[in-house]
Chains A and B, each alone.
Chain A
Amino acid sequence: MATISSTSSATELSEGRWIRDDRTAGIFKVNREAFTSQEVLDLERERIFDRAWLYIGHASELKAPNDYLTRNIGGRELIFNRNRKGEYQAFLNTCPHRGAIVAREKCGNAISFKCFYHGWSFNNNGKFATRNPAGTYPDDFGKDGTVDLARVPQIDSYRDFFFISYDPLAPKLRDFLAGAKDILDLVADHSPNGMEIVGGVQEYSIRANWKLLVENSYDGYHAMETHETYFDYLVQSAALDMGSGDKPLVSRGYDLGNGHAVVEGRAPWGRPVARHIPAWGEEGKAAVAELRRELVDRLGPERAERIYDGDRNLGVFPNLVINDIMAITVRTFYPIAPDLMHVSSWALAPVGETPEARKRRLDSFLEFLGPGGFATPDDVEALESAQRGYAAAKFAPWNDISRGMLKDDPLGDDEAQMRAFWREWNRRMEGRR
């Protein structure tokens, strides 16, 4: 390991191996080696993914006691389940005997798990529950817990968003989330009945470094350029809303602390909750008006308006994106290699939404988001293109993330949100927790 920066990112000038952060001059640079190096990825695994809180799933995915699902989080296969009492738990999905994957289905309902290799079994609290003839093992075998399914050191939730941490010393989830809690509140408050993941998941890959998707997910600067054809579609399908005098299209970037950031403002599309566009017709107009009424009654006019008329792209450090835009997407992604990531993307929606509203939401989602949308594939192309460009890093070593750095109130198409991420990334990569 070569030396890395020992200067603090809180000082006026920080010149590290990967980050140049000059607050006086308003210049912020990221070295492209951060996107290409195996050594960087190894360090990220140790200092970021093994220490931060990582999103594992939404409460609505485990509706009943004893429900479980299996998911790869930070490179490890996990079981995320509820026991008989309904408590949420997370286990490493590997047999304590010889390592085979114990739960091999995507989801189900189970009071116990049995490994198919040698038949070791466990109750759904992870306790070893295998019967063997007397004398096979010592009498006190397993009393020390070493043949139970290993628990993930920490699991906690905020507003039905569940997170795990592999670090038993990680600070409490609420403290870790810092200002991101306020944004999660806004998303969770869309409905009086709670929120739920809609059936299905989009699992895809991008041949690019994972941090490129962090940047892209709240990058207001690229939208009009990269997604020209999406906006053309909105025009053609009577789905564009360019705002008006008292509600101009403007958004701002906010540093939420601990590497979390959000871009929030008003974007030019319809919102299922709740901003009408002509494409939704009279029925849609009435439904949206009713949703607004409910929000105002429940939350008061000011907070209601922030929800129904505000768009927000949230990045929770390191790798959870919740974009509350023309639909709500919950997206997480992990590096497989420096130049390859696996993405999982869900749609989040109010519980009890009418079928018509649900259909509008899903249409709205697919028009922009996901592997077949009119926008996401072009993002994928851009990210993969950047990754190919980084092969020239030896002679073209720096990315520029300076946009709006000298402004007091950076706009959504500035890059303050990315700087918030990179400063936290750098802090952790330097070994601080």
Chain B
Amino acid sequence: MNGMSKTQVSSAVAASALTRAECEDFLYHEATLLDEWRLDEWFDLFAKGAIYEVPTAGADDDVSSSEALFYVADDYARLRYRIDRLKSPAAHSEWPRSDTSRIIGNVQLLGACEGGEKVRCTFATFRSKNGITDLFVGHCLYVLRKEEASIRIASKRVMLDLNSLRPQGRVSILL
């Protein structure tokens, strides 16, 4: 993984014996932070150097942001700014803030990888703004790892299982 020394990697892998229950608790907690717009706390869930991506609707799981157009392909610094922006009333798309509610399910541990543990889940996120409620559905691909006692997100990729972003129109909320 980016910026990790070998010892860090091996200790991360050694410490990565995550259970599904732990992952579920973590993902439910993450969903709550997002629904309550506790964005700084959400950002704190990410390991340093983590990435957050939303490929275009219907893309393949292994699509690369170096070769294909995404909606969001944030490195750690851009993700930090995305959150700072969303906290500003000048982020017009999310001001006044939309109401969101997300349901997380089908949590699966897919095995260890270099940066931690691959975890997959499905989601259904409702976003309500200006009297209209839109639904985002799909699955998330995470790499999670334990750092000291806490679980951290090394990467999060949100795969929208939709034909297109119609009628949702935008991914101005964090998914």
Contact = CB atoms under 8 A, between A and B. Distances in A.
Given A229-B91, A378-B93, A342 B69 contact: no
Interface of A: 198-207, 226, 228-229, 232-233, 236-237, 340, 342, 346-347, 355, 358-359, 362-363, 365-367, 370-372, 374, 376-378, 380-382, 384, 388
A226 B172 CA distance: 15
B167 to A, nearest CB: 5
Contact of A381 (B59, B82, B88, B93): B93
Interface of B: 54-57, 59, 63, 65-73, 77-78, 81-82, 85, 88, 90-94, 130, 132, 163-172
Given A198-B69, A359-B66, A381-B92, A237 B77 contact: yes
Contacts, number: 115
Contacts of B132: 207
B163 to A, nearest CB: 8
15 contacts: A199-B63, A201-B56, A201-B69, A203-B166, A226-B92, A229-B85, A233-B81, A237-B81, A347-B69, A358-B67, A371-B168, A374-B82, A376-B170, A377-B172, A378-B91
Contact of B170 (A199, A355, A366, A377): A377
B74 to A, nearest CB: 9
A384 B71 contact: no
A346 B68 CA distance: 10
Given A203-B164, A229-B90, A362 B170 contact: no
A372 B69 contact: no
B96 to A, nearest CB: 11
A205 B163 CA distance: 12
Contacts of B54: 372
A370 B71 contact: yes
Nearest to A342: B166
B92 A378 contact: yes
B2 to A, nearest CB: 14
Contacts of A378: 91-93
B69 A346 contact: yes
Nearest to B57: A203
A355 B172 CA distance: 28
Contacts of A377: 93-94, 170-172
A184 B77 CA distance: 35
A229 B88 contact: yes
A372 B174 CA distance: 9
A347 B167 CA distance: 21
B47 to A, nearest CB: 21
Nearest to B80: A236
B73 A363 contact: yes
A372 B170 contact: yes
Contact of A371 (B65, B68, B92, B171): B171
B85 A366 contact: no
A372 B77 contact: no
Contacts of B78: 237, 367
B65 to A, nearest CB: 6
Given A374-B85, A377-B93, A198 B67 contact: yes
Nearest to B167: A205
Contacts of B73: 362-363, 366
B52 to A, nearest CB: 10
A362 B66 contact: yes
Contacts of B163: 203
Contacts of A384: 130
A207 B167 contact: yes
A202 B93 contact: no
B86 to A, nearest CB: 9
Contacts of B57: 203
Given A200-B55, A363-B73, A378-B93, 5 more contacts: A199-B67, A201-B56, A366-B73, A374-B85, A377-B93
